[in-house]
């Protein structure tokens, strides 16, 4: 007897053969048709039971969500929309599911409701599809880097340095409640803490990844990252996964090429390996778009958007050019931006990024050469003395998906910057060492994995593309 999963059975044409399968009931109609899903595909398999020979007691227990085991004969389906079905000869209820208590009913639930039931939401079509795509994308990330000579490096989760210099970190401490020892000047005495210094959850693995790039040439991280910023947006999480490649002897142009090639490659992989799930998500988004006012609707479907990004060059524009475009734009002149653009040097908000991508260029954009003052300390200073070799990749519907730069490889310039930004040079002595011993041009970037999954699946809220989102006031599950 073939014991196979639903995905395999649906593709099979071994008619009249006996099959054995285990899964969960999605629906049960007319005391006869059970739609079973086992997570191997978004599609259910129809199992037809002979209800006259099935006991009343068993029939009652075939409810949405119940785990069951089926033995039967594979047959060509009589029904519409499926090619095969199982004529059931033996059925066993493995785990009951009380329909009066089970939150996941065969009907449309709001995403808010499903977030409150995140332990069960992956059983729905939408979340099953998202999480399978997420898994495939994460494989595609490793595949891309491994096939291109990168070494996977596991950078520490607990760190003593603030890589982004933004101070938005979660402290890691072993001090007991209210019993932190203090120094003579009243500050917490971290020398008595577990690590003998102040430590936090990492905001980026970049600084450590650089040490690997400067030895192995090409390195990448792919791990959890933490930010204690109080941002309640559809694009921010307090815990997210970041992918950070870092390459020696590569300048900013190479970095832009790498980010573009990488994104196109993983999206292509998803298109090829997640056909059913993406087709479903494409339909879902099309339905959702219909409920929006005409002016806000996207003129492309999800699949069209993915293909568009793969087939077209990202537009590369300097920050200075972007400011000119924004300053002279209609929404700026009509005071439609919440943050008006008046002068060079301001940081771009997501409304500006989305204007550039969605209205002006209508394609992904790579902005580069940002003002030094609004970027992190490690970015390479340009000869103009006021801009740095930074780059951000901006995506439709998402805004910033990648942030990266060419790194400052000159010891003196970096040291001066560190001092000017008030960073304790003793804290970053090892980072400075890289510039002392065999320094070289090098670059890298960070891509927020959830933002990539958001773009690929067309989901509007980042909380719906990570299994258990962590956001301000929320760490359930």
Contact residues for Mg ion, defined by CB under 5 A: 403
- b/e 420-439 (16+ beta carbons within 10 angstroms → b): eeebeeeebeebeebbeeeb
x/- track of binding to ligand 4AD for residues 439-468 (CB under 6 A): -----xxxxx-xx-----------------
- Phi/psi for 322 (5° steps) reads -60, -40
Contact flag: residue 49 with ligand 4AD (CB under 6 A): no
Which residues are CB-contacts of 84 (< 8 A; sequence separation ≥ 6)?
9, 10, 12, 13, 15, 45, 74, 75, 76, 77
Minimum distance from residue 109 beta carbon to Mg ion (Å): 34
Least distance CB 401 / ligand 4AD (angstroms):
5
From first CA to last CA, the distance across the chain in angstroms is 39
Of 5 and 350, nearer to Mg ion (C-beta) is 350
Smallest distance, Å, CB 385 to ligand 4AD?
22
Q: Which residues pair with 395 in a beta bridge?
A: 399
Minimum gap (Å) between residue 405 Cβ and Mg ion: 10
399-406 and 442-448 as β-strands: parallel, antiparallel, unpaired? antiparallel
| Segment interacting with ligand 4AD (CB under 6 A) among 76-84, 126-134, 144-152, 396-404 | 396-404
Looking at residues 154 to 193 of the shown chain, list those that interact with ligand 4AD (rule: CB under 6 A): 163-164
- By beta-carbon proximity to ligand 4AD, the closer residue of 193 and 244 is 244
CA 397, CA 300: separation in Å to the nearest integer? 12
Q: Return the residues of window 209-228 that contact ligand 4AD according to CB under 6 A.
A: 227
Which residue among 190, 212, 240, 262 contacts ligand 4AD (CB under 6 A)?
240
**Cα Rg for the chain, rounded, in angstroms?**
27
**Are 62 and 93 in contact, with CB atoms under 8 Å apart?**
yes
Query: Nearest approach, Cβ of 402 to Mg ion (angstroms)?
Result: 8
Q: Which of 161, 199, 200, 204 binds ligand 4AD (CB under 6 A)?
A: 204
Choose which of 364, 403, 458, 469 interacts with ligand 4AD (CB under 6 A).
403
* Binding flags for ligand 4AD, 114-153, as an x/- string (CB under 6 A): ----------------------------------------
| Phi/psi-derived region of residue 285, left when phi > 0, alpha when psi is between -120 and 50, beta in every other case | alpha
Is the Cβ of residue 364 or residue 403 nearer to Mg ion in the bound state? 403
In the complex, the smallest distance separating the C-beta of residue 222 from ligand 4AD, rounded to whole angstroms, is: 12
Q: What string of DSSP letters covers 319-378?
A: HHHHHHHHHTSHHHHTT-SSS---STTPPPPHHHHHIIIIIII-S-EEEEEEEGGGS-TT
Beginning with the edge strand found earlier in the chain, give each strand of the sheet holding 151-152 in spatial order: 151-152, 218-226, 239-248, 442-448, 399-406, 387-395, 365-371, 315-318
Q: Which residues bind ligand 4AD (CB under 6 A)?
A: 163-164, 204, 206, 227, 236-237, 240, 242, 244, 400-405, 444-448, 450-451
């Amino acid at each position: 007897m073939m014991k196979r999963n639903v995905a395999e059975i649906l593709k099979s044409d071994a008619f009249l053969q006996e099959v054995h399968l285990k899964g969960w009931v999605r629906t049960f109609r007319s005391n006869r048709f059970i739609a079973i899903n086992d997570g191997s595909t978004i599609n259910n398999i129809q199992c037809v039971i002979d209800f006259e020979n099935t006991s009343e007691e068993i029939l009652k227990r075939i409810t949405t969500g119940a785990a069951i085991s089926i033995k039967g004969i594979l047959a060509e389906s009589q029904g519409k929309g499926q090619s095969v079905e199982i004529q059931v000869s033996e059925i066993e209820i493995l785990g009951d599911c009380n329909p009066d208590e089970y939150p996941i009913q065969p009907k449309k639930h709001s995403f808010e409701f499903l977030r409150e039931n995140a332990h069960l939401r992956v059983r729905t079509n939408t979340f099953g599809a998202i999480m399978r795509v997420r898994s495939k994308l994460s494989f595609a990330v490793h595949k891309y880097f491994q096939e291109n000579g990168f070494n996977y490096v596991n950078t520490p989760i607990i760190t003593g340095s603030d890589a982004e210099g933004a101070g938005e970190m979660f402290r890691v401490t072993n001090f007991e409640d209210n019993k932190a020892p203090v120094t003579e000047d009243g500050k917490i005495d971290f020398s008595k803490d577990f690590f003998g210094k102040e430590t936090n959850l990492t905001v980026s693995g970049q600084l450590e990844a650089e040490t690997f790039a400067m030895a192995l040439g090409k390195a990448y991280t792919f791990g959890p990252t933490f930010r204690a910023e109080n941002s309640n947006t559809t694009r921010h999480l307090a815990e997210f996964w970041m992918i950070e490649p870092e390459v020696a002897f590569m300048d900013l142009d190479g970095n832009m090429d790498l980010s573009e090639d990488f994104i196109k490659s993983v999206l292509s992989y998803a298109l090829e390996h997640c056909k059913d799930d993406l087709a479903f998500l494409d339909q879902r988004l099309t339905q959702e778009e219909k409920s929006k006012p005409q002016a806000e609707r996207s003129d492309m479907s999800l699949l069209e958007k993915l293909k568009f990004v793969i087939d077209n060059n990202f537009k590369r524009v300097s920050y200075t050019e972007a400011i000119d475009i924004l300053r002279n734009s209609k929404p700026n002149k009509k005071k439609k931006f919440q943050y008006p653009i008046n002068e060079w040097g301001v940081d771009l908000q997501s409304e500006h990024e989305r204007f550039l991508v969605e209205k002006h260029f209508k394609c992904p954009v790579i902005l580069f050469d940002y003002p030094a003052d609004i970027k992190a300390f490690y970015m390479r200073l340009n000869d103009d003395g006021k801009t740095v070799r930074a780059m951000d990749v901006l995506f439709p519907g998402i805004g910033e998906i990648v942030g990266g730069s060419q790194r400052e490889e000159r010891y003196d310039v970096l040291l001066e910057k560190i001092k000017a930004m008030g960073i304790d040079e003793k804290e970053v002595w090892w980072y400075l060492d890289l510039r002392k011993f065999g320094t070289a041009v090098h670059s890298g970037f960070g891509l927020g994995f959830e933002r990539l999954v958001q773009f690929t699946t067309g989901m509007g809220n980042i909380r719906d593309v990570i299994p258990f989102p962590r956001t301000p006031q929320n760490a359930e599950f």
